[in-house]
Structures are given as structure tokens and as C-alpha cells.
Amino acid sequence: MAEKRFFHVTPAGKLVPAATFEELRNAGKAGGYLWLDFVDPTREELAALVEPLGIHPVAVDDCLDADQVPKFNDFPQHSFVLFNRFRYAKGELEITELDVFLAKSFLITVSHAGPSEAAARLTAKLDEAIRAELDNVRRGPDYLLHVILDHTVDDTFVTIEALEEEVDRAEETILQEPAAFKPEELIRLRHLLLALRKSLLHEREVLVKICRKDSPYVSEKAIYHFRDIYDHLAKFFEVIEIGREMITSLMEVYLSLINNEMARSANNTNRVVRRLTLITTIFMPLTLLAGIGGMSEWSMMTGPSNWKIAYPVFLAVMVVLGVANYYGLRWLESRNRDRD
């Protein structure tokens, strides 16, 4: 939802709202500087600032192009800063842009905040942070830029913490229930961390350019505040790298546990097969003898009148043969284990 707000930051450190751009310009003649805040503006709204404020058309195009990486450009009448904002909810990472035009007498912020509820919360939190820093904000647009970027980086840390918690939960699941874990969860987390890493890498370069005074609109005293933001980004970048290494290690642990589980299952299967083979080997000759003894051939061989002696002898032979087979196979199995 498109929205625009105009504020005159007075030398006394007050944010005085203005209804129109013309009213804002007139208020700025009394001193202080101007802050123009846009949410999802149209090209016409930004193009209207080109002539009166000296906004470069290339920077306007960058604001309207969604496929951009964080960057810093210095134009003749202003500096242009592009940062990313992150919001992580329900397993999805939402990335939006924050574009800032910095000059000696004004600051223009262009946000692409996504859902209206999230945009409202983001605007309210930013306004609260600015009001808490009014003593610094009144000193110039560069100090207001610091507050905005510092607030943006703090929101990035919230996202990083949420992803860290998911990585920790994945680790617990892998160690406790590896069979129930879905490995695509690690791939998803890795992609999210890569998106954060890409943004943080470019944002660090933006802060490097600001801290080395590439922008004439950032005062010497304000640079110390931006160095603090750079330190935060460097720390977050290290956290992201550690998270990526953890995901790689967790994938290796998961595969190792699954392989161990498969090997254990295969060993159990082999043990059952060996037992069945042992039983089959023992009873195969006994089945042959029982088949012969159960037919008339045995009676014909021993004489029908001798069945009271012949059949007990036959049964005794079967028992002796079964016991001999059993111990013979056990001896062969133990011998093979000793060789292994």
C-alpha cells in the first residue's frame, strides 16, 4: 500500500509533519532539514523530486527495480544507499529494500515493506527509534541515516537469531530421532543463510565506503556511529558463516547416523538369515530321512515284522544326525569368525 510522509526536522530536534511537499519546502527555509518517507511509491512520485531536489534519475530507477543488491553510489547532489530488510516468519524469509537519498539539507527514504501489517509495525518501530534519538537526529540528515540503518541492522539480527534457533532444533532432532528428520530442512536453512550472507557481504561494503568518507554528506563526527554499524555487520557475517558450517556438519552427522542405522538393520537381517540357514541345513537331511522312513521302503528293507525295532533305531539315527549337523555347523561358523 503506497504511503508518503513529510517531516521538517527543526534545529531544536522536533519532527514537524507537513501535509504536502510544498509546505515542507517552505518549512525548511526556517532551518533544519527535510525528511521525506515513502512506502511503495510510484515512478511519478519519485520523478517529481528530480528537479526540485536534484535527485538523479538513475537512483530513481534503482528504487523501482526490485532485483538489486545493497550498494552505495555518490551523485553530484546526493548520495544513494540501498540496504535490505529481512523478516522471517512461518519458515519463510521475506527480503525487501530500503533506499535512501542523503544530501546536506534532506533525507529521503523509500521502503518496499511488503504486507500492510508488517509495514505498519516496521514504521512504528522506526518512528520509536527516531524519537529516542532526537538529540542526535537534529544534528543532520547523516545522523538520521545512522538511526535508520542501525534499526534496519537490528531487525536483521532478529532474523539471524530465528534461523539459529531452527538450526539448533534441527540438531536436536537429528541426534534424538534421525529417522524422523527430513534432510531437506537443512537445505532450506542453508539457502536462507546464503541469502543473508549475500546481503551482509554487500552491506559491509556500503559501510566501508561511508566510513572512508566517500560521501561528502556524512560528517566526520557521524562516521564513528557508522563504524559501530559496520562492527555489527561483521559480527553477523561471522555468525552466518558459523551457521553454514554447522549445517554442513549436521548433514554429515545425519548421513553417518542413517548409515549406522542401515548397517545395524543389515546386521540384524544377516543374523536372522544365518539362523534360518542353520535350521534349514540341519533339517534338510532329516526331512529326507523322514520322507524315506514314512514310506513302505523302510519296512521292506527291515522287514514288516521288525517295525518295533526298526523305527526306534531310525528315530535315534535322525536325532544323532541332527545333533551332529548342529555342532558341525556351529564349529564351522566359529572357525570363520576366528579367520575374520
CATH number where 151 lies: 3.30.460.20
Per-residue pLDDT tens digits for 223-243 = 999 999 999 999 999 999 999
Instruction: Quote the CA–CA distance of 204 and 302 in Å, as a whole number.
Output: 101
3-state SS track over 178-189: HHHCCCHHHHHH
**What pLDDT does 294 receive?**
60
Mean pLDDT, rounded, of the chain: 84
Three-class SS of residue 42?
A: coil
Res 193 pLDDT > 70? yes
**What pLDDT does 165 receive?**
92
The arithmetic mean of pLDDT across residues 294-314, rounded, is 65
- Same structural domain for residues 43 and 98? yes
- Same structural domain for residues 72 and 120? yes
The arithmetic mean of pLDDT across residues 197-211, rounded, is 93
Per-residue pLDDT tens digits for 46-99 = 999 999 999 999 999 988 887 788 999 999 999 999 999 888 888 888 888 899
pTM exceeding 0.85:
no
Give residue 54's region: left, alpha or beta (phi > 0; psi -120 to 50).
left
Identify whether 276 is part of a domain. Answer: no
pLDDT band at 129 (very low <50, low <70, confident <90, very high): confident
| Residue (of 148, 168, 43) closest to 101 by Cα position | 148
Containing structural domain, residue 326: 294-339
- Same structural domain for residues 240 and 307? no
pLDDT band at 319 (very low <50, low <70, confident <90, very high): confident
Instruction: Look up residue 52 and give its three cell numbers.
Output: 526540485
- The residues near 81 (Cβ < 8 Å, ≥ 6 apart) are 71, 72, 99, 100, 102, 145, 149, 206, 210
**What pLDDT does 297 receive?**
59
- Same structural domain for residues 171 and 307? no
**What pLDDT does 68 receive?**
84
Per-residue pLDDT tens digits for 278-290 = 777 767 776 766 6
Total domain count, the chain: 2
| Residue (of 287, 291, 283, 293) closest to 314 by Cα position | 293
For the packed helices 141-176 and 116-132, what is the interaxial angle rounded to 10 degrees? 120
| Residue (of 34, 77, 82) closest to 61 by Cα position | 82
Res 305 pLDDT > 70? no
Q: Cell 529516542 identifies what position?
A: 132
Per-residue pLDDT tens digits for 325-335 = 777 777 777 76
Q: Provide the CA 63 distance to its chain's centre, in angstroms.
A: 27
